[in-house]
Amino acid sequence: MDIFAVPADRQRGWYLSLMAPNTKGPEFAWLDPSRLYCNPQALADCVQDLLGPFQSDAIDLVAGIDAMGFILGASAAGALGKGFLAIRKAGHLCVATQNQNYCDYSGREKTMEVRTDVLKPGLRVLIVDQWIETGGTMRAAIQLVEKQGASVAGVAAVAIENTEGGRWIKDNYRFSHCVPQELQPQVDGKRLDSFQTCKTTN
């Protein structure tokens, strides 16, 4: 697989085939999307697809979730000409923070935090993360933004799995993702046909 190759037609979600399957076992997420960020056209198209549904929406600030959400979030902020707020896993920020406990796909209890000197009522925030599986992580980020009185303008991730938490997000917020309808069953089944190519050529 040439990870820098770009197909001539660049069909919607073409870059999703750059995502790599988990080869390390059940303690890890079932795939790693981050190889697509190495291809500049893939990253640009992914960010454009994430921002498409928000074209006519007012967004004041983009928030990205620690860690991989920083990459897409900061890219989206740059594309929009807006600032970027880091929502962090707890224990890193040396300033006053508000915390939120949550549970993610790993089943482990976690805490995330955000600084208290940026968010305020009236601020419209687009929250970006790499992936939404159970939705626990994104829900915690939403709670942090809303607890400080800001509003969630939308939620964006490469994929939103069809889980209870994923559906809750789609039912309650404006959202975007990059998965074409015909690929969604593969995402929900946690196995992409494109993994076959990874296996034979990597």
Ligand X SMILES: Nc1ncnc2[nH]cnc12
Residue 17 engages ligand PRP in binding (rule: CB under 6 A): no
Q: Which two tokens stand for residue 197?
A: 């190519």
Q: Which residue, 16 or 152, is less far from ligand X as judged by CB?
A: 16
136 binds, among ligand PRP, ligand X, none (CB under 5 to 8 A by kind): ligand PRP
Q: Which two tokens stand for residue 20?
A: 């790599």
Interface residues toward ligand X, by CB under 6 A: 29-31, 33, 105, 130-131, 133
For the four alpha carbons of 75, 28, 19 and 40, in that order, the dihedral sign comes to positive
Contact in structure between 85 and 70 (CB atoms under 8 Å): no
Q: Which residue, 107 or 121, is less far from ligand PRP as judged by CB?
A: 107
SS (H, E, C) 2-64: CCCCCCCCCCCCHHHHHCEECCCCCCCCCEEHHHHHHCHHHHHHHHHHHHHHHCCCCCCEEEE
67 binds, among ligand X, ligand PRP, none (CB under 5 to 8 A by kind): ligand PRP
Coil vs helix vs strand at 104: coil
Residue 137 engages ligand PRP in binding (rule: CB under 6 A): yes
Site for ligand PRP in 46-65 (CB under 6 A): 65
113 binds, among ligand PRP, ligand X, none (CB under 5 to 8 A by kind): none
Strands 31-32 and 83-89: unpaired
Using CB under 6 A, which of 51, 68, 125, 169 touches ligand PRP? 68
Site for ligand PRP in 94-113 (CB under 6 A): 104-105
Q: Which residues bind ligand PRP (CB under 6 A)?
A: 29, 65, 67-69, 104-105, 129-137
